[in-house]
Structure 1
Amino acid sequence: MTEAAMVDRAGRPIRVGLDVGGTKIDAVAVSHDGEILGRLRRPTRWGEDAVVDSTVEAVLALGDEVGFTPDDVASAGVGIPGLVDSATGRVLHAVNLGVESLDLAARAGARLGVPFRVENDVKAAALGAAALRGIDGSMAYLNLGTGVAAGIVVDGRIWRGARGTAGEVGHLSVDPAGRLCGCGQRGCVETFCGGGALAKAWGRPGALPVRDILDAAELGDAQAVLLRDDLFRGAAAAVRVLVLSADVERVIIGGGLTALGDRLEHGIRAALLAGAEASAFMRSLHLDERIELLTAGSPAAAFGAALVGASAPVKEIVAHG
């Protein structure tokens, strides 16, 4: 009986991936050959029980839309912020979700009868971006959102490093006399190009503060010009660190700030070129040619979570601020 259940599970046609964020869940259904069969977004609710409920409801709603039941699901993967033990599926300190300690894989799996695996959201997005872009070698995924974080993928696998912090550039201090970061250091990369830090420094009301900064800079507002330059220089610094430390071939930029489109990409590229003017070595790296912007609204994070769900877990604690 146990063997039959395992064979049945292996033959199920659907893999589900869920990107669980502070405000929404992005869910995709993926076939065994990697085709995205359907996608939906639902709001995330606050608190540990609510996160489990939201996750389960997203899978069921996706099934209603695409036409499958939990019996058709071979695996489910979740990308979520916070400290993630990918071997046990436990999530710690996901403060934007009201989660202190949550055995998400066990609880969601028990509700649906589906095996769940959980990964840090940025690492899952890195895996998804590499797969969607067809990158076989090395790449880094730089997430520019409220905060700044990165993940590295080499030959289709997440590269974690010795303690799971490989690629973690947001809290690298590049100006010890700079603005105070939430991590306690000064002048972290995140204080230059994180959306939350920029909004705080801007200090003016608005639904999209970073877009407001760029708009005001184009009109000549002196404070906005300084903050815009910080954004581009900070993101360029993150790209340099990722390439110089890991020699990745590509740096794919994702996250909420990609909604700025060409203005963000052109600004980072210009900052990379300006930073290389005085160095033949830096010019030889062609950093400006090694970046690309992920299309706004890309399913990379949810798709990467589906890949995580289909892969064997590795016992590792990983962190992103």
Structure 2
Amino acid sequence: MTHAIVADLAGRRIRVGLDVGGTKIDAVAITPGGDLLARLRRPTGWGEAAVVEGVVAAVTELVAEAGADVTAIESVGIGIPGLVDAVSGRVLHAVNLGVESLDLADLVARRLGAPVRVENDVKAAALGAAALRGIRGSMAYLNLGTGVAAGIVVDGEIWRGARGTAGEVGHLSVDPAGRLCGCGQRGCIETFCGGGALARAWDRPGSLPVRDILDAADAGDERALALRADLFHGAAAAVRALVLSADVERVIVGGGLTALGDRLESGIRAALRSGAETSAFMRSLHLDERIELLPAGSPAAAFGAALVGAATPLKETVTHG
């Protein structure tokens, strides 16, 4: 039997957001006005129980750093990879975390006594990027990391589409004869500009293979030059797909590859300009002027998760049983 309890939120003034990644949790505490109170990072852990324990520990440590305790929490939002049911807070197939099926919102809410909402990590990051950059209207967030994913925000709200896949351009095939993708297709955008795909194609030792590729390309290595061209071609294809399909005004690029800084941004801009040379229509869209990189280390994903959590009604029903 499932019982329902109503959480008393009187006096709670801290909103917590967590970006749960494959190796670390990035957590922020913010005020209702959006001011950052505290931020911390800690290891994630492997498996369903470890993910829950890691989230609870991160929240507890975070609010202590902010000079409060868990009774000060107004809401908790969690961004996490995998298939997320944003209504129930259940996470499915988060393979990089060892999670097959986890009622994350319910389990964390019971431990903390606060309302919890869960969202896909990239969608949460899109919301956070829009807020941090002060973007009104429409925008897309393009996450270039081990894989490639995207989310769309319109007027401050996540646009999901009919089945929650709006903006997911990583598995759009742009070369049917290209490299095999993990999804089973060939030539997906992710096979061109995903860090994992590039590392496999490079197949040389190194802790930062995409940076190594760019360095080797600068030195004239032919294989590296081809892979560098793939990176910029794939990222430019993702930007074109997002703008042409949803007509977003801005595309914010985030994810681990933003550590490449200007080399990544200038390369994508050049690829967009080159791709538009023979088309007056494409030139009229000024795609190279509609992109920007998030600063490396930006808290956008955790900040967006805090906004997701803050959308919880003040009288939240937390189930247990």
**TM-score bucket of the superposed structures, by smaller chain:** over 0.9
Tell me which residue corresponds to 1:216.
216
Tell me which residue corresponds to 1:181.
181
Equivalent residue letter for 2:244: L
Whole-Å separation in 2 of the counterparts to 1:57 and 1:17: 13
Tell me which residue corresponds to 1:319.
none
Equivalent residue letter for 1:109: A
* Cα deviation code 1:12-58 (max 9, x no counterpart): 10000000000000000010111011100001100000000000000
Task: Give the drift of 1:283.
Answer: 0.3
* Runs of 4+ that moved beyond 2 A: 5-8
* Equivalent position SS for 2:59: helix
Tell me which residue corresponds to 2:58.
58
Matches within 5 A, 1:89-108: 89-108=89-108
Tell me which residue corresponds to 2:285.
285
- State yes or no: 1:156 paired with 2:156: yes
Equivalent residue letter for 1:14: I
Q: What TM-score do you get using the length of structure 1 for normalisation?
A: 0.95
* Equivalent position SS for 2:58: helix
- State yes or no: 1:264 paired with 2:264: yes
Tell me which residue corresponds to 2:76.
76
The question of whether the paired residues in 1 share the 8 Å contact of 2:76 and 2:117 is answered with: yes
Matches within 5 A, 1:223-234: 223-234=223-234
Whole-Å separation in 1 of the counterparts to 2:61 and 2:21: 17
Tell me which residue corresponds to 2:18.
18
* Equivalent position SS for 1:91: strand
Whole-Å separation in 1 of the counterparts to 2:100 and 2:120: 15
Task: Give the drift of 1:68.
Answer: 1.3
Whole-Å separation in 1 of the counterparts to 2:21 and 2:79: 8
Comparing 240-249 and 10-19, the one that deviates more = 10-19
Task: Give the drift of 1:67.
Answer: 0.9
Task: Give the drift of 1:11.
Answer: 3.5
Whole-Å separation in 2 of the counterparts to 1:62 and 1:100: 27
Tell me which residue corresponds to 1:238.
238
Whole-Å separation in 2 of the counterparts to 1:6 and 1:224: 58
Tell me which residue corresponds to 2:255.
255
Whole-Å separation in 2 of the counterparts to 1:119 and 1:192: 27
* Equivalent position SS for 1:9: coil
Tell me which residue corresponds to 2:318.
none
* Equivalent position SS for 1:245: helix
Equivalent residue letter for 1:140: A
Task: Give the drift of 1:269.
Answer: 0.2
Whole-Å separation in 1 of the counterparts to 2:38 and 2:193: 33
The question of whether the paired residues in 1 share the 8 Å contact of 2:253 and 2:291 is answered with: yes
Whole-Å separation in 1 of the counterparts to 2:307 and 2:10: 15
* Cα deviation code 1:148-199 (max 9, x no counterpart): 0000000000000001000000000000000000000000000000000000
Comparing 181-190 and 103-112, the one that deviates more = 103-112
5+ residue gaps in structure 2?
314-321
Q: What TM-score do you get using the length of structure 2 for normalisation?
A: 0.95
5+ residue gaps in structure 1?
314-321
Tell me which residue corresponds to 1:316.
none
Tell me which residue corresponds to 2:197.
197
Whole-Å separation in 2 of the counterparts to 1:301 and 1:24: 13
Tell me which residue corresponds to 1:318.
none
* Cα deviation code 1:191-231 (max 9, x no counterpart): 00000000000000100000000000000000000000000
* Equivalent position SS for 2:9: helix
Q: How many residues align?
A: 309
